[in-house]
Amino acid sequence: MTLDIPSIYFVSIVTNLSMTLAVMIVALRQSIPGLKLLAWGLVTNSGYYLVLGAKGILPDLLAIGVGNMLGALTLTLVLKAVLSSRRAQMEPALYITPVALMLIVSLILIDDRHSRLIIASFIISYQIALILWALIRPGNTFVGRGRMIMSLACVVGMVTMAYRGFSFLLGWHEVTPFQSRDVLTTLFYMINYLGMFFLAFGFVLTTVEQGAEQNRRMALIDPLTGMFNRRALFESMDKLFTKAEAEGQPLSLMIMDVDLFKQVNDRYGHQAGDFVLKRVANTIKGRLRQEDIVGRIGGEEFLAVLPDTPPEGALRLAEELRQTLASESVVFKEEKIQVTISVGLYSSVSLAPSQTPDSVIASADKALYLAKTNGRNRVEVNKVITAISA
């Protein structure tokens, strides 16, 4: 199967300009990292097809030299867009050098199409490999359909360009004239066109997915402390309670309340109060394990669920938290603020089917009330359940 190369050029230019317009409109309305860079990449890609398509009309030095440079610049802009969207950095030489090298090779080898295509193929393959690395590099925890589409497009493009370079280098295929309709040339232009399309589509889809993920996280995270909010906490608790009951594991829960917090706000101001809450939250998070869950359930109250934690371990942790906070003053704008917490603890060595998150929280809350009544800055235990038979 062969396709008309000038038709591919025309479709590519129209498609790229249409995508550029759509992306630019979104980029001007919303501050999305990397989106403007992607739009400029689509512009240079259109320029690449336009200049190379004018070969025979424009001088070869301009058509080939500038055209190939625009193609390399397109991939550099896509790479920068991906890096920007992930707030990552890369040595500038890694992505600037290929653009300069492409221009130099195109000009020096202007009359040697065979050598020029071999080197250009490997340069492009290298550039696509950089984009793929930026997509899958360590630290990228978010994996969505958009990122998968971009990664797949990179793999196909990288392999195709590497094969093209080796096929010419090793004599598997002959170098055909520009705009030839042989299978390899047709395949190259089609993959080049579709690759850019799917890179752009995948990038936009990734921004949409990341926005949705960010909104989901915002709905589950307390913005002041960075902890779970009440909703997220209860969703996670259901799973932990089910697992503890099924496996017969101990489970502990404690509610922590900052003592006389209203006085802190009244005396030092709400900014100081927020600072105190952040400090308390960080202290709590610093003492918990990865498998524990903790959140702010309202005002100055925090709740922590400790799976597979027996009563003695939970009581020891609660006392450590209380003592740590009581022993260190919180300094806010040169003011020393004494902070203490009261803790209500509920611990069970084996959960009964009738014990729900609500009932256990109610028991811990009674212990917290007892701690407040008995003078604050203390830990109280409501009750400890020993093994319960089914």
What residues are labeled active site? 300
**379-385 vs 341-348, strand pairing mode:** parallel
Q: In this structure, what token pair is assigned to residue 171?
A: 């004599």
In the chain the beta strands, taken as DSSP E runs, fall at 251-258, 293-298, 301-307, 330-332, 335-337, 341-348, 379-385
Quick one: DSSP state of residue 292? -
Amino acid of residue 155: V
Helix and strand numbers (H, E) in the chain are 13, 7
Calpha distance 196→206 (Å, rounded): 15
Which residue has 């014990």 as its token pair? 355
Calpha distance 181→93 (Å, rounded): 36
Which of 194, 246, 210, 217 is closest to 390 using CA atoms? Answer: 246
Phi-psi region of 226 (alpha: psi -120 to 50; beta: other; left: phi over 0): left
| Helix/strand/coil for 171 | coil
Give me the residues paired with residue 379 across strands: 343
Q: Are 280 and 307 in contact (CB under 8 A)?
A: no
The CA distances from residue 63 to 48, 67, 83, 348, in Å, are 9, 5, 30, 77
